[in-house]
Amino acid sequence: MTKRYDLIVFDWDGTVMDSTAVIATSIQSACRDLGLPVPSDEDARHVIGMGLVQALQHAVPAAPEHMYEPLADRYRHYFLSQDQTIPLFAGAADTIAELHAAGHQLAVATGKSRKGLDRVMDSSGLRAYFHASRTADETFSKPHPAMLLEIMDELGATPERTLMIGDTTHDLQMAVNAGVDAVGMTHGAHPEEQLRELKPLVLLDDFNGLRTWFRANA
């Protein structure tokens, strides 16, 4: 079967790795430590996928500007104490390996820092499957299309032959802004009804469903 997509780009947190709860609680704990307003679970989850300082600015808008770097440091303290134990979603590794074996180019576009992405790609054993990646400290944060545009340029892919996989509206809006198709994963940070508003090709609950969809459509 002829491939529909040459390039498949994955978000990481909340899409490949089941890190939503750890990120949200790390934001909340950092705020408590510094005596700042603690965002609700919904607000803490909503900013997942953005670059860290941008995410904190949205989650804690009442914080003075000079507090965002200390807040980011406290967030890292909590997140890094747990990140080596955060699991991949069931079926993620097998699906990625299958796509790689089928000849697709694979990439990651993430709100993580380069250091953070390198660490989890190595610890997960998935680095060898990916041909390119962009992080929020290297270019514009989602939903700006720069991550996708830069990856496509690096790998020689066209928008009509590129697919974005993500769990947040930031991921799906980035895909819209870059002119590429998208699949939404409902097992991550943003609720299904919010993802649906951005009209992805399909919304899927887990990697078993994604793997089946890929076999028929990718």
H helix runs in 63-145, sequence order: 68-80, 92-101, 114-124
Rounded CA separation 42/29 (Å): 15
Rounded CA-CA distance 156/78 in Å is: 39
11: annotated active-site residue = yes
Cα 197 to Cα 109, 121, 207: the distances in Å are 21, 31, 22
Which residues does 40 contact at the CB level (< 8 Å), separation at least 6?
none
Please pick, among 13, 167, 171, 181, the residue that the annotation labels catalytic: 13
Q: Any bridge partners for residue 7, and if so which? A: 105, 162
Three-state DSSP at 54 gives helix
> Are the beta carbons of 151 and 132 closer than 8 angstroms?
yes
DSSP string, 155-194: HT--GGGEEEEESSHHHHHHHHHHT-EEEEETTSSS-HHH
* DSSP code of residue 85: G
Tell me, yes or no, if 13 is annotated catalytic: yes
Residues annotated as part of the active site: 11, 13
